Every structure is written in structure tokens, then in C-alpha cells.
Structure 1
Amino acid sequence: MPTITQNSAVTLHFAIKLEDGSVADSTYQMGKPAKLIIGDGSLSDNFETHLIGMSKGQKRSISLAASDAFGLSNPDNIHYMERAKFVGDTQVEVGTVMAFSGPDGVEIPGIITEIAGDSVTVDFNHPLAGRDVVFEVEIVGVE
């Protein structure tokens, strides 16, 4: 039975849970496993390291510190914008995730974290940055 190595095509189910047990992301909820190639950038190197050597049918639960999962929150990724820049039907409220154009034209998601007068604080860190997580994985197939 093939085991996962660099460049393996892997089909897997996963759940990413927070410290309190709540599910942040899960393929089980979508009812469809994820497919990826080890090394294609779909998962961080650290997540992939834990998959190497696994084979079809195996399950594993991996606790990862924030620095090993989605990284620590970077203060340089928090930006303050004028409320006037949010025009039209845009809902400007705390917790709203919006797409912003990055310097290279690629859209970057940002979460509105604070509104104070005419200033809107937008956090461009990954929503799970700074959070310890449990990565539960079930290998469905390896090619």
C-alpha cells in the first residue's frame, strides 16, 4: 500500500479544531474530501510533515502550536483605513470579511476588527493566526 511522500497525490478528510473543541474548518461538513499534491502549497510545510508516511485508511490527531499552524499574528498585517473608502452597499461592521486588492492585484481577505469614528481597522492575518489548533486527518487515498 503506498505511503505519502513528497509529490504524492493525496485525498483526505480533515478537521481543524480550536482549543475549545469548536471546528474552524472541516471537509466532513462539506461531505467531500480534499485533494492535494504534497508540496503544492495547499498545506503548510508543517502540516505536510505530519502526513508523510501515512497511508490510506489511517487517521491521526495532531496538536499544533500557533507558530506551527497558521503562524503568529503579525502586527504589520493590521491596517487602519478611512471609513470613507468603504462606499456603496458595503457593510462596514466588526467581523465582516472583505476582499481587498493587494499590491500585485491579487485579492486579499481582511477582517474588520474595529471601527472608531472615521477609522476602520482591518486585519489581514490568517483568521487562525495566533491560535493553537488540533489537526485531525483521515487519509482516503494516496497515489
Structure 2
Amino acid sequence: MKIESQHVVSLTYDLYVDQDGTENLVESATQEQPLTFLFGVGQMLPKFEENLSTLSTGDSYDFKLSAQDAYGEYDEEAVANLPKEMFNGTDIPEIGSILPLQDNNGNRFQGQVVSVAEDAVVVDLNHPMAGQELHFKGNIINVRPATPEELSHGHAHGADGHQGH
């Protein structure tokens, strides 16, 4: 079956990023644990979906996304100093830890602690893969129409349409 909007796609992938001139594998989805998502509803990177849009069940793919088409260029300004009082009484997070954050509008995002100063915790708000070209290789395992429930929920419920628990 060909991939179309409002279809559920299950696929395998290997994601490589270039680190010091060498492509390193940073993430995978396997046949046993595929990535399953509702196509065309904005869950995935737009250019990722665009590259898959002509494929069908059984097809393989191999494409690269520029940093601009993936998670954007690295933004030096996207570093925040959070006052230590924010962590009132809780442990000050360690360098490298990921913090779940929320802005004044209720939007959730994550930041990585890059340093701890005397009165503040310094957090990098860039996506961990900002500034990197992403190289995807994989296979389309299954494509099927989404169920009415999946469409109303706005996400896939697993490769077969049922959510596993």
C-alpha cells in the first residue's frame, strides 16, 4: 500500500549524524520495535515525511536532511540561566541532565544542563540534534489506513491499530 495522508506508517530506520567526518549511528528503529506514526498530521519532521511520501510497503529508503530541514541551525542565543530558586529544595540538576520545561504559554520543551553557576543553572534549549545533517536509512514495513479512533486522537495506536500495554 502506498503512503498517503492519514495512513499509519510503520518503518525501520537507522539515523546517522556526521561527527568529525565520520557517520555515526545515533538512533534505530528495528523490525521488532518499528517507528509507527500517523502520516500527514505534523508528528514528524515535514521533510522526513516528504521523503517518504512516494513510498509503499516493502520499499527501502536512504536520504539526508539538512540541519535547516531537520532541527534547525544551532542557536547560540538559545541558552537560558535559570535561577537556582526555581529548584526550591530539590536537588540542583547535574550537568548533562535533561530538564522538562514549560514556557508562559504552557508549551512544553526540554533543555540540557550545560553548567551550574553560583546562583543559576545554565540550560541549552537547542534540540540535541540542532545544527546537524541527519541521514536516514530504512524500510517501510507496513502502511494502512488509520482507524477512526486514531484519526480522532491524532496519533497511531501501534502497527496493527491496537495500543499494546
Coarse TM-score class (shorter-chain normalised):
0.7 to 0.9
Indicate whether 1:43 and 2:44 are aligned: yes
Q: Distance in 2 between matches of 1:42 and 1:24?
A: 20
Could you tell which deviates more after superposition, 43-52 or 125-134? 125-134
Q: Which amino acid aligns with 1:102?
A: D
Q: Distance in 1 between matches of 2:92 and 2:11?
A: 36
Could you tell which deviates more after superposition, 120-129 or 89-98? 89-98
The verdict on how the C-alpha distance between 1:93 and 1:43 changes in structure 2, with shifts beyond 3 A counting, is: same
1:104: how far off? 3.0
Q: Which amino acid aligns with 1:27?
A: A
Q: Distance in 1 between matches of 2:119 and 2:143?
A: 52
Q: Which amino acid aligns with 2:3?
A: I
Q: Distance in 1 between matches of 2:36 and 2:84?
A: 40
Q: Which residue of 2 aligns with 1:15?
A: 14
1:11: how far off? 1.0
Please tell me the root mean square deviation across aligned C-alpha atoms, in Å.
2.1
Contact 2:84–2:92, Cα closer than 8 Å, also in 1: no
Q: Distance in 2 between matches of 1:103 and 1:90?
A: 23
Q: Distance in 1 between matches of 2:24 and 2:84?
A: 33
1:54: how far off? 0.8
Structure 1, unpaired ranges of 5+: none
Q: Choose from 25, 38, 46 the match for 2:27.
A: 25
Q: Distance in 1 between matches of 2:55 and 2:24?
A: 25
Structure 2, unpaired ranges of 5+: 145-165
Q: Distance in 2 between matches of 1:16 and 1:90?
A: 34
Q: Distance in 2 between matches of 1:101 and 1:86?
A: 14
1:89: how far off? 4.0
Q: Which residue of 2 aligns with 1:82?
A: 83
Q: How does 1:77-116 map to 2 (within 5 A)?
A: 77-116=78-117
Please state whether the residue corresponding to 2:68 is helix, strand or coil.
helix
Q: How many residues align?
A: 141
Please state whether the residue corresponding to 1:48 is helix, strand or coil.
helix
CA-to-aligned-CA distance 1:69-119 (integer Å, 9 cap, x gap)? 111123453211122322344342221101122223343211111223323
Q: Distance in 2 between matches of 1:138 and 1:87?
A: 48
